[in-house]
Amino acid sequence: MNENDIKEVIFTILKRLAPESDPSELAPDENIRKALDIDSFDALNFFVRIDEELGVSVPEADYGKLNTLTEMLAYFSRRLA
């Protein structure tokens, strides 16, 4: 799975969590939770969906490291390599 595939999965999940948003308009280094007004419950649901869709389990200790699209793509790419 390449970065574009991962990005599509991320955008699909974000669109489910924030249906009024357009995740493709996010800047690569923009804080996704702040930009889309995602609360902690939705953030947890995001990581559960990532595990279901990509098969990447994100430990709670890493949640704070995954705030931007750039950080997420790097993190998930490493784990899917």
Domains of the chain from N-terminus onward: 3-80 (1.10.1200.10)
Q: What is the pLDDT of residue 32?
A: 96
Q: Quick check: 81 pLDDT over 90?
A: no
pTM for the full model?
0.93
- On the 0-12 / 13-18 / 19+ scale of CB atoms within 10 A, 32 is buried
Report residue 7's pLDDT band, with 50, 70 and 90 as the boundaries.
very high
Three-state secondary structure of the chain: CCHHHHHHHHHHHHHHHCCCCCHHHCCCCCCHHHHCCCCHHHHHHHHHHHHHHHCCCCCHHHHHHCCCHHHHHHHHHHHHC
